[in-house]
Structure 1
Amino acid sequence: MPSNFRGLPRRIVRALRRGLLGGSNQVGLAVSAAVLLGTALIVVQLLILGWWLGAAGTLLLGGAGLVLGVKTTKTALRLARVDRQLRDGIKTTGHAAAAPPQDGQRIDAHSAASRLQAIGRVELDVVNPSAKGRQAAAVDSDPLRPFRLYAATRGTVAAPGGAAPENGSGRRIAAIATPRLAARLNGDFSVSALRPGLSLAELEASQPTAVVVEEDALRAGAWYSALQAGGTGLLREIFEVARESRERGIGFYVVASDTLELSSTTLRGVATHVVQPDAPPAAVPGTDGAAAPSLPLLEALESHAASQAVQRSEGVSR
């Protein structure tokens, strides 16, 4: 058999696929017209023969076939539209990857300098394009949002790893602390405050050796309500700081208060060490009679917690 005839079935199949999925509804209209005309002819013939029930059944079957044909055509057109969008998206992505990056337009997620000093440009995807009402405005979160905000406010003057500490000149500490604890730590440590919305970027910029979170600092100021039901966003950000601290291998200290709130126990559960206000100082035994190693940060936190507890007890007694 000639090759032209052997390839004829494949050509017919390809032609039908192009007709059904090529974005044109001409084939669908032709099929629907054929079903409608064929049903009408059969019904007329049955009526001439006096087969009323057969004519009614044929009419029902023809109507059902027509509805199915219309739905199939619409489905094919939608599939063709989605296929074109996917192809266009792949082509656009390929061209975007091949184009050279422009200054200030792209952020390298693996480069600290780029993340902290480039605002970049982001286009967030809508979570559900077919949603209505308020849900229609929901978009995916931007994982680099803290770094973009840092770059817009401080990143142009601060270099990663070289950001000047806000206070002190000793070991670098990142803290969410009350002014009293911050003043106490500033004597021996270089303390950098963590702010809502900027905490992850500030953690990257300051490169601390420990992170301190004081529960009393979460009851006032910018971090207010982080331990309450309405502060889940703030608490989630603190959890991100705790996760980043674990990945860096640095301590995450929580200075507890004598007042429990809704999320106090949850916060303490992610801490490397919890400093309790009424707990005795941490004792690290030496070996072979040697002196225990010094823990200046932990000792300073325990001293602060103890003094706070004494002040509260004196205030109650008065």
Structure 2
Amino acid sequence: MTKYVTSNCTPTVFPAATFDAKEDASNLKKAMKGFGCDQKVITDILAHRGIVQRIEIAEAFKSLYGKDLKKELKSELGGHFEDTILAMMTPLPDYYAKELHDAISGVGTKEEVLVEILCTLSNYGVKTVAECYSKQYGSSLEKDIKGDTSGHFKRLCVSLSLGNREENPNVDEAAAKTDAEALYNAGELKWGTDESEFNRILVNKSYQHLRRVILEYEKLSGKDLEESIKSEFSGDICMGLLYLVKCIRSKIDFFAERLHKSMAGMGTDDKTLIRIIVSRSEIDLGDIKLAFERLYGKSLESWINGDTSGDYKKLLLKLIG
């Protein structure tokens, strides 16, 4: 019944073996000179450099021309191609901080984005992003989450935003059984649901421990934990807990599902598509590609081919390898 898939951490974008930041900066300057902009040159350079190299190019650009490369790119480019390039030029913690801020600010809250980012980062990652958020926006991530969410979902997101998950890789089988029983008693066996128990266990215990908890829960209840969550919860808290359990089972499958959802049906959720492809390209996008094809029977490349167009499409295809 339970299946876990671990990532081998296969990236699709690698730092260039031979690299000259000043030469790249000069070529980017030429690509943006005169009428129009050579987006092919920009793609060929930036899609074949790691983020550290891209930042070095930006520093070289400022040194050579006294101009901010990101601002120059922003003024020359447009649409989703621009969005993708600017994401590629942003260090990951700063990029995640911006995505979280965009999800919280404006009309309505993008609850799925909050959970997607917070439940897939390590403790160190969460704390680093929270620091970047504070520097960029002059407010704490926790405070802004509290101001823009409510109820049990607010408590879930606040807990996730603290980055205090246990990280001990060792699994105590007796403790896993105890936690499985606590979840069962808080949901299936209770009139009403004790949401705080789900929060306490799923947000704070290590992923290795929780994989064992899920196995024990299934033995105890005869059903998947996801089935129980769907029957016990509704709305944003249901979504948040389901996302957490999916991440516990397999982070790569979770990202593959998010990519599929961003392109399935009418219209494309380009913001999610760009965020996952850019943020995972130097981590495990190779694994996510394989998971996508296993889950949906068609390659990620074929979906992107059918769902995007122009230089934006070419850039995404370069990034997925």
In the superposition, the TM-score normalised over structure 2's length comes to 0.25
Could you say which structure has the greater relative contact order, defined with CA pairs below 8 angstroms and 6 or more residues apart? 2
Question: As a proportion of its length, which structure holds more helix?
Answer: 2
Question: As a proportion of its length, which structure holds more strand?
Answer: 1
* Larger radius of gyration between Structure 1 and Structure 2: 1
In the superposition, the TM-score normalised over structure 1's length comes to 0.25
